[in-house]
Amino acid sequence: MGNLYLLSTPIGNLSDLSLRGRQILMEEKNFVVEDTRVFKKLLGCLNIPLGEKNIFSFHDHSNENVISRVLQLLSQGENLCLVSDAGSPIISDPAYPIIRSVLTAGFAISSIPGASSPIVALELSGLPPYPFHFNGFFPRGERAQLALFQRMMMSGGGTHILFESPLRVEESVQRLCEFFSDSDLAVVRELTKKFEKVYRFSAKEWEQIKKEITYKGEFVVLIHLQHGAQHGAAFDCERWNQWNEIEKMAEELLQYYSGHVSIKLLSKLLAMILRKNKKEVYDFLISRK
């Protein structure tokens, strides 16, 4: 039976690709990648010819047909390489459904390790390295953010690592500093690239630090929570209770008006009553429905 390789690619500096990784890229012919254009560009930069390589994509909007294709190739004795645009194909990338399906079907997987931005950011942050918690991308919407903050508070302390886009990183770090006002943070941008920069500061220093940051490129945000420390829980508990109230009202309204009134109208009504963002309420109602 075939083998599925989980191949990590450089997160910025091409020299970080391992010798083993380069060998796999040269020798193997079947690749499932996040973006075919990015992958072909990578091969070009490494002077690896496309030849007869079989390359197809898998992303958040892919369907079960892609997984079926992967399993079919493996069952025919073909090896397959799962490749992210940058870094590990399992870190905040859409590869997990493939990996679970492959394991469930009884096929073997192998890791071809390389640079991973959460680990590189943790090394550069100057924050305590353990325990650490990787939380993926900072969530959008107040309710999702409050849920994250609650999980972080219940984690028992440690360094939390998050990804964020350059368009939202300032606002997101602002929220973290408001809620966890006694914490230390690091904001890291453009890891392993020419303009790599690390900003290390306390939450109370954020107002000054945010003026120094260039909001371009890729960001990793890290925050260290002291075990047992009191943060801004009281400030946001009221908002969290409001969302619980929305949940209760939503259940009743959806049951009473089901089939008679649109979700759009219900969200507008709830947003007006509870003084919440209409789109957030709409998204929440859709998820409950």
pLDDT in tens, 155-212: 878 999 999 999 999 999 999 998 898 899 999 999 999 999 999 999 999 999 999 9
Contact between residue 209 and residue 189 where contact means Cβ atoms under 8 Å apart: no
| Collapsed DSSP state (helix, strand, coil) of residue 52 | coil
Looking at domain 118-231, its CATH class is alpha beta
Concatenating the DSSP letter of every residue in 135-161 gives: EEEPPSSHHHHHHHHHHHHHTTSEEEE
Query: With 0-12 CB in 10 A as exposed, 13-18 as middle and 19+ as buried, what is 85?
Result: middle
Helix intervals (H) in 76-224: 96-104, 117-125, 142-154, 169-179, 206-209
Helices 96-104/64-75 angle, 10° precision: 40
Beta bridge partners of 33: 57, 83
pTM: 0.78
Q: Model confidence over 14-62: pLDDT tens digits? A: 999 999 999 999 999 999 998 899 999 999 999 999 988 999 988 766 6
Sign of CA dihedral 135, 136, 137, 143: negative
Residue 237 pLDDT > 60: no
Q: Model confidence over 66-109: pLDDT tens digits? A: 889 999 999 999 999 999 889 998 886 678 888 999 999 999 99
Is 3.40.1010.10 the CATH classification of the domain at 3-115? yes
